[in-house]
A = this chain, B = another copy of it.
């Protein structure tokens, strides 16, 4: 492993928790170079919703490449781009009665967020944005400025201004009415809040600690934005593409955001790809006003189109995700009950789930134990106090149960035998 420590920057992080050298992967399993196998409850931080090297998508991908079809095309028209747009329109937008223009903002989630923020500011002529406590939206300057984590913010090296944080759902554990503060500031001409161009929000905060907003809270937020002519951006980079059940995490709430960001699992195969969806009347860009080299990675379009057709032409996957999510929830609730003095809390929605520890260190210890037992999962939350699982949506019940059994063992190892 010398080469890594010699050559790679010390900014690397996952390789510190999981020092294995991984080589192959299939479905929910990863294999290191010594052949040891690991059940993957991390799934590329949500980038592998259909599992590693999903065989259906793999076939499409290899065929695409074998036929020497266009790989890199910026924003030129390609048959792959058309195929993707058709699949996305027919299977995702139309059935949900959603009318969006598609921006290809660049290869990653931060590009999608930057594009949304730029466009929101252009549309409204305002600079300020409202974000939420413990939100995470990316590491480029624009995206970082609406991200909560103080260590990550500190890395910017310049003051991150132009954003004001508001309390996310349940920030005060239900004690105070939703948006009582935000709305008061908006309506008070002397509040000192710069009128925001947009609100950016996640339906479930993954990095923030698997905090799931209630549907009602999201609806109230959407209404508040409409009332005050603020654009609503839902960042569905981690929670979209079926992670919480429906294709979009906000479907359950019945809202229609002004803009939506997608990335991570949108290609279906772990390839870089991102989208910013905008309501048609908001599409006021000049040609080329936002651009980028990697806006047209056709192999990603090919796997994306296939994933969408295969998994989103009916509700099989959605129902399966919800069911599996409920299984996880019941197992986590059992742990909460089994260790009453440990102060555990089960969190999340769909297959984005977390187990929060009162003693933050224990969450990390459980993950370390899991790695020893061949299970990959990580922590999240401001103090890394939440054990987070994001299994592939295509995980089998047996695999899921196997992983949950390991978690039981790890929790027991850390907390004592209940």
Contact = CB atoms under 8 A, between A and B. Distances in A.
Interface of A: 1, 3-4, 7-16, 18-26, 30, 33, 44-48, 52-53, 58, 61-62, 65-79, 81-82, 85-86, 88-89, 101-104, 106-111, 114, 117-122, 127-128, 131-135, 138-143, 145-165, 167, 171-172, 176, 180-181, 184-185, 188-195, 197, 208-209, 237, 263-264, 269-272, 278, 283, 285-294, 297, 299, 381-383
A16 B89 CA distance: 22
A297 B272 contact: yes
Nearest to A188: B382
Given A23-B79, A68-B26, A157-B117, A152 B192 contact: no
Given A133-B192, A139-B290, A151-B289, A283 B159 contact: no
B44 A74 contact: yes
Contacts of A164: 164-165
B72 A188 contact: no
Interface centre among A61, A79, A141 (most CB of B within 10 A): A141
A258 B272 CA distance: 28
B24 A69 contact: yes
A12 B287 contact: yes
B122 A160 contact: no
B25 A68 contact: yes
B7 A85 contact: yes
Contacts of A181: 167, 172, 181
Given A8-B85, A15-B76, A114-B141, 11 more contacts: A4-B85, A7-B101, A10-B285, A18-B76, A22-B73, A61-B65, A108-B293, A119-B157, A133-B188, A150-B190, A155-B286
Contacts of A152: 288-289, 291
B7 A89 contact: yes
B189 A149 contact: yes
Contact of A72 (B47, B162, B163): B47
Nearest to A16: B287
A15 B76 CA distance: 5
A320 to B, nearest CB: 22
Contacts of A161: 159, 161-162, 194
A85 B285 contact: no
A128 B292 contact: no
Contacts of A48: 72
